[in-house]
């Protein structure tokens, strides 16, 4: 017999709220109907997880499962950030454990080729489980109420396709203490079983440190004894490679996990940029699409990206963004900048892509006839002086004390006169060559002087990867480094053209007086 379209009387999908149960494709074990879509939402007690397994599985095969398919979601359906996998063909999906108390299963068939479908079973698992998503949340039994006595739970995390090392962060932790954590404890293992190397054993009320596995597997064991409990713990895990990174190079780029595909839900990712003293960090937003603003508050209450000045979230907030925005570059006030991505339990988007460049600390001043440029040697300690030059390589910096210095007249070193905003200014380009081997990497700064006012400014005009960053003059705010790490008084005292001019005037005056006195005496 040929399969038919799903008749209205056939049960298909629904909410499953019992502690355990079974469900299957329509007509199972017969052929499933054409053009059918069913969604099962499994909801168990909060604080528990859902264990899902398949006893039979046979769907039409396609290499990308474009025809008939079954999808498993770690939470509500149709949110790509929750998707644990899409399956078809004859190979059954692996057993799944949800990262919280909700799981969804979607079955869809097209108008051609029908098979026998699938049969699945689920049960509530109050304690432990096999977690295969890229991110999730784990809590002790009954959290935040006191956990039961004589409990033992094991959460085995890993096995996600393409998964890398895992990061585990404890948001809350309060258990019975004791010497050696012999009573109640949480133990972490760098692998799928207790025979793997231990990563720590914790008890008491101090939160365990952030833990990163060296393999794509992490085992968490929770154990309580016969008396004295506590609130327990709440922890988040996520694939560590794309989500926790520290950058120390002068330039770089990074993006949200899985970009340009949808990022996972329930993440807290941190990217820390740490440059040598004196540098500032300039971040350019190449692309950003996150979940939008709250319709109630108008704020970024759901998924959002934040930038902090310094290395921690205690630093000054430079910005907090969400939705789909075209953002202006952001510059730190110190040599460290922290970007933090928060995502909630639903509604994922494409994410973001950024690049950054370290803005070299320098003091640029000018007189009516000369440029003076100073850069602390410690900021560019790895560079020879001939890698820093104004206009042409023949105008390279000199090392004077603890600074690279360039002191040059306006009629040399590629300087030119321009009119900007009806003002005559002198322009030149400062080159700093960070190239290594065949990898060319030359940063360019425009230095500008308004001779009448003797005011100078500097602007980054070409930083990392100019093909991706427009060489606009306003990529970096004009810096007035106010002598930071530099003796500014030394520069201010070097207005030599004015000194020479005044000296000549005084000398001429003295000669005139001597001449007049000589005439009188004669």
Instruction: Note the pLDDT tens digit of each residue in 274-290.
Output: 998 889 999 999 999 99
Distance CA 179, CA 203 (A): 9
List C-alpha distances in Å: 273 to 339, 354, 371: 8, 12, 32
Residue 143 has a pLDDT of: 86
Residue 488 has a pLDDT of: 34
Percent of the chain whose predicted confidence (pLDDT) is above 90: 51
Q: Read off the pLDDT of residues 426-449 as tens digits, 9 standing for 90 and up.
A: 999 999 998 888 888 899 999 999
Q: Are 15 and 43 in contact (CB under 8 A)?
A: yes
Residue 500 has a pLDDT of: 47
Residue 179 has a pLDDT of: 87
* CATH no., domain 13-125: 2.60.120.290
pLDDT band per the 50, 70, 90 thresholds, residue 480: very low
Percent of the chain whose predicted confidence (pLDDT) is above 70: 83
Equal CATH topology for 13-125 and 363-467: no
Q: Are 215 and 164 in contact (CB under 8 A)?
A: no
**Domain residue ranges of the chain, discontinuous segments joined by +:** 13-125, 130-238, 244-359, 363-467
Handedness of CA 214, 79, 96, 142 (dihedral sign): positive
For 27-64, letters b (16+ CB in 10 Å) and e give bbeebbbbebebbbbbebeebbbbbbebeebbbbeeee
Q: Are 380 and 432 in contact (CB under 8 A)?
A: yes
Q: Read off the pLDDT of residues 358-389 as tens digits, 9 standing for 90 and up.
A: 999 999 999 999 999 999 998 887 789 999 99
**How confident is the prediction for the chain on average, in pLDDT?**
83
List C-alpha distances in Å: 117 to 51, 135, 323: 20, 29, 39
Residue 142 has a pLDDT of: 82
pTM above 0.85, yes or no: no
Q: Strands 152-158 and 129-131: what pairing?
A: parallel
| 98-119 average pLDDT score | 90
User: To which H or E segment does residue 502 belong?
Assistant: helix 496-521
* 87 phi and psi angles, rounded to 5 deg: -135, 150
End-to-end CA distance of the chain: 139
Q: Decide yes or no: CATH 2.60.40.2380 for domain 363-467.
A: no
Q: Read off the pLDDT of residues 249-258 as tens digits, 9 standing for 90 and up.
A: 888 999 998 8
Closest alpha carbon to 108 in 81, 90, 133, 86 = 86
Q: Read off the pLDDT of residues 197-244 as tens digits, 9 standing for 90 and up.
A: 999 999 999 999 989 899 889 999 999 988 888 999 998 887 755 677
- Determine if the peptide bond prior to 29 is cis (ω within 30°): yes
For residues 187, 193, 194, 195, the Cα torsion angle rounded to the nearest 10 degrees is -140
Residue 98 has a pLDDT of: 77
* CATH no., domain 244-359: 2.60.120.290
Q: Are 80 and 263 in contact (CB under 8 A)?
A: no
CA contacts within 13 A on the Cβ side of 445: 27
| 138-157 average pLDDT score | 87
Q: Are 476 and 282 in contact (CB under 8 A)?
A: yes
Q: Which top CATH class is 130-238?
A: mainly beta
DSSP code of residue 504: H
Q: Are 431 and 388 in contact (CB under 8 A)?
A: yes
Residue 381 has a pLDDT of: 75
Q: Are 366 and 426 in contact (CB under 8 A)?
A: yes
């Amino acid at each position: 017999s040929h399969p038919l379209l799903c008749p209205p009387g056939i049960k298909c999908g629904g909410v499953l709220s019992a502690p355990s149960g079974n469900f299957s494709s329509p007509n199972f074990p017969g052929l499933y109907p054409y053009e059918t879509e069913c969604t099962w939402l499994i909801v168990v007690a909060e604080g528990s997880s859902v264990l899902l397994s398949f006893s039979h599985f046979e769907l039409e095969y396609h290499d990308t499962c474009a025809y008939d398919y079954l999808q498993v979601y770690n939470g509500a359906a149709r949110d790509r950030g929750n998707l644990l996998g899409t399956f078809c063909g004859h190979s059954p999906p692996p057993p799944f454990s949800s990262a919280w108390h909700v799981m969804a299963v979607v079955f869809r068939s097209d108008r051609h080729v029908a098979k026998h479908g699938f049969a699945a079973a689920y049960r509530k698992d109050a304690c432990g489980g096999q977690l295969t998503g890229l991110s999730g949340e784990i809590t002790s039994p009954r959290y935040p109420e006191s956990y039961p006595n004589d409990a033992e739970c094991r959460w085995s995390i890993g096995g996600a396709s393409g998964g890398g090392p895992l990061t585990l962060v404890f948001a809350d932790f309060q258990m019975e203490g004791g010497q050696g954590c012999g009573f109640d404890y949480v133990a972490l293992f760098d692998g799928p079983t207790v025979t793997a190397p231990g990563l720590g054993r914790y008890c008491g009320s101090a939160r365990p440190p952030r833990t990163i596995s060296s393999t794509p597997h992490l085992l968490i064991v929770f154990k309580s004894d016969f008396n004295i409990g506590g609130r327990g713990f709440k922890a988040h895990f996520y694939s560590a490679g794309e989500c926790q990174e520290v950058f120390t190079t002068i330039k770089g780029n990074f993006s949200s996990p899985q970009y340009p595909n949808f990022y996972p839900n329930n993440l807290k990712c941190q990217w820390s940029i740490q440059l040598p003293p004196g540098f500032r960090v300039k971040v350019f937003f190449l692309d950003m699409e996150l979940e939008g603003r709250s319709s109630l508050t108008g704020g970024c209450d759901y998924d959002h990206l934040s930038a902090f000045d310094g290395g921690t979230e205690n630093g000054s907030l430079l910005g907090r963004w969400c939705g789909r925005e075209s953002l202006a570059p952001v510059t730190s006030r110190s040599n460290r900048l922290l970007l933090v991505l928060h995502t909630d339990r639903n509604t994922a988007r494409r994410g973001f892509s950024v690049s950054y460049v370290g803005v070299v600390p320098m003091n640029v001043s000018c007189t009516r006839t000369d440029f003076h440029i100073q850069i602390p040697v410690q900021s560019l300690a790895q560079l020879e002086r001939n890698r820093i030059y104004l206009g042409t390589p023949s105008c390279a910096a000199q090392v004077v004390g603890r600074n690279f210095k360039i002191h040059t007249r306006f009629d040399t070193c590629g300087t030119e006169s321009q009119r900007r905003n009806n003002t005559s200014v002198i322009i030149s380009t400062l080159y700093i060559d960070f190239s290594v081997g065949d990898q060319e990497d030359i940063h360019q700064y425009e230095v500008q002087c308004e001779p009448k006012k003797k005011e100078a400014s500097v602007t980054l005009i070409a930083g990392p990867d100019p093909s991706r960053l427009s060489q606009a003059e306003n990529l970096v705010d004009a810096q007035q480094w106010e002598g930071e790490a530099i003796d500014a008084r030394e520069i201010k005292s070097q207005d030599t053209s004015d000194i020479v001019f005044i000296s000549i005037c005084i000398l001429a005056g003295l000669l005139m007086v001597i001449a007049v006195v000589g005439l009188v005496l004669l």
